[in-house]
Amino acid sequence: MTQVPATDATGGLDADLFEYLLVAVPAASRLDGVVATVAGLVRSGRIRLVDVVQLHRPDGQASVAVRAGRESGVIAPLAAITVPRARLSAHDIALAAAVVEPGVSALLLLVEDRWAAALSAAAREAGGRLLAGERVGRDRFRTAVGGSGESADRWALADLLVRGPAMSHHPEFAVDQAAQLQTLSELVDRGVLTLEQYEAQRRRVIDG
């Protein structure tokens, strides 16, 4: 049986297995099933839930409402089963909120991917570690599927990665989308931009 090396000083959590997930639904009333599923994944041991935030962008507004912990009745059951070793920062939340569409509610989850614990242990036993990872978006994957047969020229294929491992370790080189969108939102509040103009600019920002 594989022996898992001792984890570092993160309260028994594996620091190489963390990711955020943003799950969006058309209305807050539809989050109940998502909450129940997340709770089931925690109970099964597939993930550990470290932090959870509810986001909602009302129709006709540029700003996104943020609720965390027990102040949101919807996510209170999840707040009760978190392992609070780390918390999402206000800037983390603002970056995630950038992609929330009008009328949409979302759960922003910080999780430890326990399903990958054996892979992380194998890497450590070999003197290495899990170095990086990124969730490949649906649209990027669909674009790549069409012409990516075994004989396809890799230089002609559509990209699947938004950022490489180097960017993961040097976030200071990334464009601060949250700051850009905050500036645009303030222009909406001052009446300089219409909501339609804000939406057009927001899409330009998040599409890079």
DSSP string, 121-174: HHHHHTT-------PPPHHHHHHHHTT--TTS-GGGSPP--SS-HHHHH-GGGS
Tell me, yes or no, whether 144 lies in a domain. no
| CA pair distance 75, 70, nearest whole angstrom | 7
On whether residue 185 sits in a domain, the answer given is no
Q: Does the residue 193 lie in any domain?
A: no
- Number of compact structural domains in the chain: 1
Most confident of 8-22, 61-75, 166-180: 61-75
Percent of the chain with pLDDT over 90: 43
- Coil/strand/helix, residue 11: coil
Is there a domain that residue 135 lies in?
no
Q: What is the pLDDT of residues 153-174, one digit of tens each?
A: 777 777 777 766 655 555 555 6
Check: CB of residue 88 under 8 Å from CB of residue 94: no
Q: Is 28 helix (H, G, I), strand (E, B) or coil?
A: helix
Q: Are strands 105-113 and 47-56 parallel, antiparallel or unpaired?
A: antiparallel
Is residue 151 assigned to a domain?
no
Give the structural domain span for 45: 1-130
- Is 161 inside a domain boundary? no
pTM for this predicted structure: 0.79
AA identity, residue 4:
V
Query: CA distances (Å), 165 to each of 24, 64, 144, in order?
Result: 26, 30, 20
How many Å apart are CA 50 and CA 146, to the nearest integer?
Answer: 37
